[in-house]
Structure 1
Amino acid sequence: MNRPPTAKPRAPPVDSPLVGEEITPTYSTSSAIPIDEPPDGGFLAWSQIVPGHIANMLSWGYGTGFSVFQLYYKQTMHLPASQVAWVGSIQIFLCFVIGMVSGRLSDAGYPKLLYATGAIVTVFGMFMTSLATTYWQVLLAQGFLTGIGGGLMFMPATANVATYFKKNRSLAVALNGCGSSTGAILFPALVQFLTPKLGFGWAVRICGFIGLFLAVIGFFVLKPRKLRRIPAPVVDWNAFKNIPYSTFCAGAFLIYFSLFTMLLYINSFARESIGLSNQESINFVLVTNAVAMPARPIFGVIADRYAGPVNTFGINCIALGIMAFGWIGVHTRSDMYAYSVVMGFVNGGAQGIFSSAVSSFVKDVTKMGTWIGMAFALCGFATLAGPPTMGAIIDASGGRYIWGQLWAGLTIVIGGIFILASSRLVVKDRGGNIWTKV
């Protein structure tokens, strides 16, 4: 008896999904496993944390450790603190904004080229900083060059880590992000302790040689996944039709408006309000970043196993806002050290989970760098405007910090509420499917 031929199952479509729809994965012809499905483990996947960690050291670590440079430039060039602060603000701003472009180019298949180019520009900026003798030279070398280089370098490495993981993504991205704490401890410490012995120029050049050595290791370890590539613009405007993603970005903007402000002004607060020496005030930056290192993987595990990355990020941000309000009660040297420890732990948990939280909204892994980059770009404008706003509030208050502290706490708490709200919003796709868990 002849049986009718059995119809072969048709492969799922591979068209790019609309924002808010669940992606239909691409299948290989020889296997039923989606080729874009993350391996979520294995030596290759976990090894990609190494280049990501190094990229964060040379970008965010070098940038957030700017306090030691600000003190040196203020004392040797006799410049106002607000003018010197623009160097650090521009450096961090460019890391954020250039990340949007490098994220898209990374999705297009150029992560290794971006990593190498960013590393070269960053290290070149360090060496040029060691030779700078005027403000405009410092602004170009440390503000623009290292900012652009860091933005080119860190986003492809961070997005690459996210493409290798799903269940363990928050932990992996948090370990990747620990590089910002490592760099913020290493580079300021080198400059602080080597400058009296070797001079500022050689202290910064040693930072450059170390950065070059680390970048070479990161380049050879970096192994981007071979994913399908879909032509797309630098900015995917359809992403903002995704209401949860847009709500998340609005909350992140408010948070980063004041987050880096707290880190940048903690030194001046210790000097002007507590009465500590310039040298001792730098210790609070080192303490804050040292405590942040263990916090990042701890909250990464919590996000992966229990609360989810978006909820974990939102709760940490609300806690950080409360810490900003608590800053008002710091009056003594011992208060300052205790506050730095707690604030560093909470801040580390918040910053360490940010990239993973953004990636939770990306249903198509081929757009991972693009969507994360757009969120970072928005936060970049917030970090550029935040410190000058804080400074204006302090100046208008006669040098008192209380109104600036209240402003920082208020913006961060409201931003945290937006983040938590984004994980509760319901979005329906064309097929009527509902997804809310991020």
Structure 2
Amino acid sequence: MMDVEKAIPYSDSRPAPRSFSPITQAPPLHKTKSATSAVIGRVASHLTTRSITNPGPPPDGGFRAWVQVFCAWLAIMNTWGFVNSFGAFQPYYEEILPQSPSMISWIGSTQASLLFILGLFSGRALDAGLFRPTIILGITLQLVGIFTMSLAKNYWQLLLTQGICTGVGGGLFFVPVMGLVSTYFAKRRGMAIGIVTSGNSLGGIIYPLVVREMLPKVGFGWTVRVLGFINVVALVVVIAFMKPRLPPRNSGPLVDWDALKDRPYVLQVLGFCCLIPPVYFGFYYIASFARDELHMPYAHSLNLVILINGSGIPTRVFIGMIADRYGLMNTIAVTLFIDAICIFSWLAVSTLPSYYVFTAFYGAASAAFQALFPTSVTTLSNDITKTGTRLGMAFTVIGIAALVGGPIAGLLVKGRGGYTSAICWAGASTVLGMGLGVTARGLKYGWRWKTIC
């Protein structure tokens, strides 16, 4: 056989072998640095808003703005909707855990409290241009909390997962999401925020509905995992489509000490501290009352959790329009008066039909208050540059009140007076909160009831 190398004659015209020295093949150093800087710049542009310049006035509508509303609506459904669904878990935990109702309430109240308190810090991340890293961190923590909750076997594991982990996660992304929506709207801001907050009520329908249908069939673990998968789908959409439109801006101080000298502001915040605990007493114990006092099966009692949340959807959407016409402070005062009447009427409930009627009215009245109270705090600030600081201060104090509301109600329920004592406490606290709010309105705008404020 002919040798292969001899079969190919050598030609001097063939190119000389190329040197493969790494020195001769490496790109110039300055080009490497510029390419690296470009990659870092592209990554940073997706994580921060430092590249945004001259965003212009709020579009007040349009496809992109309404996409932000939809995404925020999903985020509120996955945070406050999950919190308002704790009434579906409270009676179930009372059956499977040795702890008292008061101890069990700490799970839900811790979750709600952290959503309020952490908003003081997470809102500043939006101002600093760190919207995307903040919501990604918060969403990750919330999902970790839900999926580890599905593995919980005792009270302390539920407190750490459902109470603390999901509360921290939700607190990190709920305020930046709400703040981002407000940057896209001016004249239609009230309507946009009203639509967003309706996600609260819809979440309060979806989560108990899933629990009611799946808990008897697949057990607690897989029921909670399904709730987690719902959140995964919704929150991936939030991460993908929410886009900040403003560049970073300086945040105000954490505390405005002058606010402590502002009597209307102080009275209003103290009033809300009296009002928030009764709200969560109603949402957390609505199903427990049906089971304990009216002997309703657990699965059927979850219909009341769905009803108390669902009846608030139209209220949340339209109450802002009413407030725009008749005044925010006037509207919230009337809302609280109706709320107090509803709570005291709970004492007369003795049949299932009457309980369904009470639940529908109470859900609508409490939803109106929840939709209005953040905005009512901001209206009392004379300096618009301090609005965010004062709202953060109010949320922190209100968060402490939310923390103790459920456990106090649980102690009263298991006390000598039972649900009667708890309902009377909730009604009296609502009346006190309404009185403080009306006083704040009078000191700020005068006592004439015809004044639109």
TM-score between both structures, scaled by the size of structure 2: 0.80
Indicate yes or no: 2:310 matched with 1:310: no
Map Cα deviations across residues 317-350 of structure 1 (whole Å, 9 max, x no partner). 2211121111111111111001011111111111
What runs of 5+ residues in structure 1 fail to find an aligned partner?
A: 1-29, 428-435
Q: Which shows bigger deviation, 229-238 or 188-197?
A: 229-238
1:293-304 aligned at under 5 Å gives the runs: 293-304=313-324
Q: Which residue of 1 aligns with 2:107?
A: 87
Q: 1:355 to 1:223 in 2, by over 3 A?
A: farther
Distance 1:45 1:421, change over 3 A: farther
Change (3 A) 1:148 1:207: same
1:262 offset after TM fit, Å?
Answer: 1.7
Moved more, 75-84 or 186-195: 75-84
Task: From the superposition, tell whether residues 402 and 419 of structure 1 become closer, same or farther in structure 2 (CA, over 3 Å).
Answer: same
What is the SS of the residue equivalent to 2:150?
helix
Distance in 1 between the 2:274 and 2:300 partners?
31
**Contact 1:92-1:380 at 8 Å conserved across structures:** yes
Structure 1 residues 378 and 287, CA, compared in 2 at 3 Å: closer, same or farther?
A: same
On the 8 A contact 1:117/1:149 being kept in 2, the answer is: yes
Are residues 358 and 114 of structure 1, via their aligned partners in 2, closer, same or farther at CA, if it must alter by over 3 Å? farther
Q: Which runs of 5+ in 2 are unaligned?
A: 1-52, 446-450
Kept in 2: contact 1:93–1:381 (CA 8 A): yes
Letter of the 2:428 partner, please give it.
L
Kindly indicate whether the alpha-carbon contact (under 8 Å) linking 2:252 and 2:385 is maintained by their aligned counterparts in 1.
Answer: no
Within the candidate set 410, 423, 430, 1:391 is matched to 410
Shift of 1:397: 3.0
| Deviation sequence 1:113-143 (CA, Å, 0-9, x none) | 2222111111111110111122221111111
Q: Which moved more, 1:385-394 or 1:333-342?
A: 385-394
Q: Are residue 146 (structure 1) and residue 179 (structure 2) matched? A: no
Q: How far, CA to CA, are the matches of 2:312 and 2:149 in structure 1?
A: 27
Structure 2 distance, partners of 1:199, 1:242, is: 52
Aligned to 2:391: 372
Alignment of 1:342-381 (within 5 A): 342-361=361-380, 369-381=388-400
Displacement of 1:369 = 4.3
Query: In 2 relative to 1, CA 51–180 (structure 1 residues): closer, same or farther, beyond 3 Å?
Result: same
Q: How does 1:164-183 map to 2 (within 5 A)?
A: 164-183=184-203
Superposed, 1:111-260 pairs within 5 Å as: 111-226=131-246, 229-260=249-280
Q: Structure 1, residues 266-296: CA drift from partner, whole Å, max 9, x if none?
A: 2222122222222222211101111111111
- Deviation string 1:189-214 (CA, Å, 9 cap, x unpaired) is 11221122222211211111110111
Q: 1:113 to 1:365 in 2, by over 3 A?
A: farther
Deviation (angstroms), 1:264:
1.4
1:419 aligned partner = 437
Inter-partner Cα distance in structure 1 for 2:265 and 2:436: 11
After alignment, is 36-45 or 161-170 more displaced?
Answer: 36-45
Q: Once the 2 structures are TM-superposed, how far is the Cα of residue 90 of structure 1 from its aligned partner?
A: 1.0
Q: Aligned-pair distance for 1:91? A: 1.0
Are 1:283 and 2:298 counterparts? Answer: no
Matched, 1:406 2:433: no
1-structure distance, mates of 2:288, 2:388: 36
Identical pairs, percent: 37
Separation in 1 of the partners of 2:187 and 2:304? 35
Inter-partner Cα distance in structure 2 for 1:369 and 1:351:
18
Displacement after TM superposition at 1:405 (Å): 1.6
Pick the aligned partner of 2:355 from 336, 339, 346. 336
Task: Give the corresponding residue for 2:343.
Answer: 324
Assess if the C-alpha contact under 8 Å between 2:75 and 2:235 holds in 1: yes
**Does the CA contact (< 8 Å) of 1:170 and 1:303 recur in 2?**
no
Superposed, which structure 2 residues align to 1:2-41 within 5 Å? 38-41=58-61
- Using the size of structure 1 for normalisation, the TM-score is 0.83
Residue 276 of structure 1 aligns to a residue whose secondary structure is coil
Aligned partner of residue 131 in structure 1, secondary structure: coil
Offset at 1:358?
A: 2.8
Does the 8 A contact of 1:87 with 1:138 survive in 2? Answer: yes
Q: Tell me the distance in 2 between the aligned counterparts of 1:55 and 1:367.
A: 26
Match runs of 1:53-132 below 5 Å: 53-132=73-152
**Distance in structure 1 (CA, Å) of the matches to 2:284 and 2:78:** 18
Aligned residues: 396
Shift of 1:103: 2.1
Q: Which amino acid aligns with 1:112?
A: R
SS of residue paired to 1:282: helix
Name the CA distance, whole Å, in 2 between partners of 1:398 and 1:420. 31
Q: What secondary structure is seen at the aligned counterpart in 1 of 2:312?
A: helix
> Does the Cα contact within 8 Å between 1:155 and 1:369 map onto a contact in 2?
no
Q: How far, CA to CA, are the matches of 2:410 and 2:96 in structure 1?
A: 22
- In 2, Cα distance between equivalents of 1:349 and 1:286: 17
